[in-house]
Amino acid sequence: MSDEELTSTPPELRELADNAVNDLVPSKSKNKYQKEYEKFESWRIENKVQTLTENFCLHTSKFL
């Protein structure tokens, strides 16, 4: 999601969306997921990846 999309989303709707996303990962897996997500975010920032396109996902899926 772009910065523009995030800033144009009303805060109350953003909060509802964040809560929904938090409920997607089972509590048993949350810590592991969070660690992997933080590693991915660090990699993304280090490599200056700003948008996640279909091509990006297809390319990186071969490393999973």
Nearest Cα to 17, choosing from 5, 31, 35, 27?
5
CA 33 to chain centre: 11
Q: How far apart are CA 51 and CA 13, in angstroms?
A: 22
> pLDDT (tens digit, 9 = 90+) per residue, 5-17?
556 788 899 889 8
What's the rounded mean pLDDT across residues 34-58? 88
Q: How far apart are CA 15 and CA 35, in angstroms?
A: 22
Rounded to 5 degrees, φ, ψ at 11 are -55, -40
Instruction: Return the pLDDT at 7.
Output: 64
- Indicate whether 1 pLDDT > 60: no
- Indicate whether 56 pLDDT > 90: no
> pLDDT (tens digit, 9 = 90+) per residue, 23-39?
888 888 989 988 998 99
The model carries a pTM of: 0.55
Contact 51, 2 (CB under 8 A): yes
